[in-house]
Structure 1
Amino acid sequence: MTSLSVKSLVAAGVLSLALGHGASAQQTIKIGSILSSTGPASFLGEPEDKTLRMYVDKINSAGGVDGRKLELVVYDDGGDANKARTFATRLVEDDKVVAMVGGSTTGTSMAMIPVFEEAQVPFISLGGAIEIIDPVRKYTFKTPHTDKMACEKIFENLKQRSLTKIALISGTDGFGASMRAQCVKVAPTYGIQVVTEESYGPRDSDMTAQLTKIKNTAGVQAVVNPGFGQGPAIVTRNYAQLGMSSTPLYQSHGVASKSFIELAGQAAEGVRLPAAALLVGDKLPDSDAQKKVVVDYKKTYEDATKQPVSTFGGHAYDGLFILVDAIKRAKSSDPKQIRDAIEATKGFVGTGGVVNMSPTDHLGLDLTAFRMLEIRNGDWVLLAPGT
């Protein structure tokens, strides 16, 4: 074989590989995720990670999105905001993702927002605080109910029970601090008076001193605990140990998983919190628009993982399918067109509620998406309206 022939064959081979790679690249849609799969917020990140991987596999097995497979790139930030920002930059610059679903916490989400906004890549956060989407940023969206909504749902229930004087004991983490600020801000609207306040750090292992101060404060009719992670479980246990159970205790949607009940134990009995319909899917009437979605997700997740479902995995489910729906409607994997389609989402039924987004609302949920639950006999009970 002549030298020219060899060169021709090599060139043809390189061209063939290049064309093959290009064709392959066109057949996939690369999306990213940065989650707190390990570390102090792993109770959030782990079910989110499992949910995304499981459903991307299911979507691809069913033929992908309009015939194109999804390629999921996942990084674990361990709950560290600096790592989250570094990984966000990597997703944009190296991985070239067209969209991102992730950000387990408020802190990590806030750290990543500037990266995705500057790169003009849609970012669907799984963090809780309202500050993620207020003020509205062009490329940033989120799926969980906001901390402001949690305050409003709790205050609505307090007002129904004629309980108007409360104490706040708040975590100093990003979510706890944000929800505390929102509760203080909206309290007057509901005729609620914050009589006294206490706080605790993310590594505190005993809140007896703070709760004793609350117990000794005259006029407190109920206690509200903005926070997530192990802190609220410790508060709940200390609350019972101090004999405060006759005073109603409210937690946030930041503890909406069975792990909270397990950590708090018997002390969780009677605790109330706002949460997504996912936790009580089997108790919803057949006429409820969300019932099929939440029951199907719960069964799929628990069959696959052998673990109880949590609303946190549900947030990831909603984020992924809002994105998939947007890509289908946009008929494109161009980030700007995907962004426009996400913002135009209407009537999307997810585990968190029925989503209707707009240029001024990058969440798309209202208070009806929250259900008021009470913990009884180690399980969730759906409270009837007005109780």
Structure 2
Amino acid sequence: MVEEVFRAEYGRAVSVLTRLLGDLDLAEEAVQDAFATAVRRWPVDGVPPAPAGWIITTARNRAIDRLRREAKGREKHAQAALAHHDQDEEVPDVPDDRLRLIFTCCHPSLAPQAQVALTLKLLGGLTTAEIARAFLVPEPTMAQRIVRAKGKIRAARVPYRVPRDADLPQRLEAVLAVVYLIFNEGYLGRAELEAEAIRLGRVLALLMPDEPEVWGLLALMLLVASRRGARLRDGEIVLLADQDRALWDADLISEGHAVVRRCLRRNQPGPYQIQAAINAVHTDPPTDWHQVVALYDQLMAIAPSPVVALHRAVAVAEVEGPRTALREVDTLDLDRYHLFHAVRADLLKRLGEDPRAALEAALERAEHPAERDLLRARLRLAAAGQQDGADDHR
């Protein structure tokens, strides 16, 4: 139970405590102490009626105790700000607290990747290992980035607030990246992160209604989330082509398509808008693969990356065949990325070649249990197919 509350409420607790304390490090430490206390007490005393409120109140009390012990200038000021709250008063959830925390972590003084990593750590409660996996970097490298980012925020005295209107555009790219990575972490299991990312996307759309990329990200998340009900079967991943479309959420699809049309009318295409358009094509069967390739061409023109090129190659395989797609895939430097090897395996299989080495490489790099289960199943099928082929030649 503690782990479930941690996953769902860590970001809210850190956000609320940061607002109350004005100190990011102190807020995070207080929340961590509160969860450590929950691990000890809840199995004995039982889970409280409002677990999230218990965590926030306990964390606040821990922080007050620490400030009283240390009794230094800055801490005295924070203690005075806290003291007027009744100790038994429930701390309300301020709707924009998490958004304030995102903008704090996405201050221009931080490198873009550090901005995203720090926000995932503080808002999403992700482990350093999970964030390192999302960035395809070693865990120690990511740990150093997070420590340095927190140090810069402290040294620069970055305010905990949503920036003024004039400052919003320059902070937007990192904020959108944060929201999308939170969404991706919830893609295969943590529904609360997926829902939180969509909630933040809606808040951003209200805050910045004239920014087409904000709407593009919201549409992208809505359309991907619409397939959640069909994405897993008995805990195993179901690929898009094999999903039961009756399980897709028609309301989310309808809303996502409406937002995509809104973006098209603006005619200011950006990466999130194009990705949303690609997903809109996928949710309007049968998939028009020529249109998908054309959209990926547009995406490569404005935001080229090896990962985009990999996904484009998947669409190329449907239009020009697996041989052409494999040639494109083999030019990409994505050895650490499990999907690179999984795509290669699929293309090799379609060409009648042995995909087992590529599947083993994908399995070695995959982290999510559902992804590993899917790859193991494909390996078993590949091994059986090779055995059948050997029997045919006897």
Q: Report the TM-score when normalising by structure 1.
A: 0.22
Q: Report the TM-score when normalising by structure 2.
A: 0.22
- Greater strand share, 1 or 2? 1
- Greater helix share, 1 or 2? 2
